[in-house]
Amino acid sequence: MEWDWSAVGDFMPQFWDGLLVTLQALALGSLISFALGLVWALLMRAPSRFVRWPVGVVSEFVRNTPLLVQLFFLFYVLPEWGVTLSALTTGVIGIGLHYSTYTMQVYRAGIEAVPAGQWEAATALNLPRVRTWQVVILPQAIRRVVPALGNYVISMLKDTPMLMVITVLEMLGEARLFAQEHFQFTEPLTVIGVAFIVISYLASLLLRSLERRLVR
């Protein structure tokens, strides 16, 4: 089978639409997962087990069920309970919530890696607990976990094609639609394969640069 450059040209408008949706889902999903993951990590350090236990149960449940099942539940089951969201919003929430249970563990590891002397110094200086977290613990913890968080960004990127099952036309969805309409599969699928590689590589470079800056 010969490569058809005209098919690539015909696909490009749909590709750019799909790329925009993919990047939106990735950016917003990452923000949700990073923010929620930090909240879960802090709640898991709460003195009361009545806080820690529910958070632990929910996070384990989310982490141990497939993202695909969660997307189906959010998109098809919640409307029966009166909660209706757009497909893209559902996908962003699904990805963000799912990966927040992984980033929670990353934050926990970073917090536990902060030397005990830092806590003791903050106590000796009579810093309030909130201030201790803000200026002593979290800056050091987050600096340690940036590489791991970056890996999850790339993982989220590779999971965005799952949004196709809830009618979100991201890159793979657009490629599949084009292929079915024109009976040409090689060109659109190759284009999005290259796009995923390029985006992943650029993201890894950006995260590596951020890591070096934080180290300095």
Say how many C-beta atoms besides its own lie within 10 A of residue 182's C-beta: 14
Is the pLDDT assigned to residue 213 strictly greater than 80? no
pTM of the model: 0.89
Distance between CA atoms of 195 and 201, rounded to whole angstroms?
10
Task: Say which residue the tokens 């799912």 belong to.
Answer: 98
Is the pLDDT assigned to residue 150 strictly greater than 90? no
- Looking at CATH, the fold of the domain delimited by 7-215 is given as MetI-like fold (1.10.3720)
Question: What proportion of the chain, given as a percentage, has pLDDT over 70?
Answer: 98
Tokens linked to 17:
């639409």
Task: Please report how the helices 49-63 and 87-113 are oriented relative to each other, as an axis angle in degrees rounded to 10.
Answer: 120
30, 153 Cβ separation under 8 angstroms: yes
Amino acid residing at 55: V
Amino acid residing at 7: A
Is the pLDDT assigned to residue 216 strictly greater than 70? no
Residues 39, 40, 41, 45: is their CA dihedral positive or negative?
Answer: positive
Say how many C-beta atoms besides its own lie within 10 A of residue 179's C-beta: 17
Q: Please, which pLDDT band fits residue 215 given cuts at 50, 70 and 90?
A: low
Is the pLDDT assigned to residue 37 strictly greater than 80? yes
Q: Please, which pLDDT band fits residue 100 given cuts at 50, 70 and 90?
A: very high
What residue spans define the domains of the chain? 7-215
pLDDT for residue 146: 83
Average pLDDT for 19-48: 92
3-state SS, one letter per residue, for 34-59: HHHHHHHHHHCCCCCHHHHHHHHHHH
75, 144 Cβ separation under 8 angstroms: no
Average pLDDT for 57-64: 92
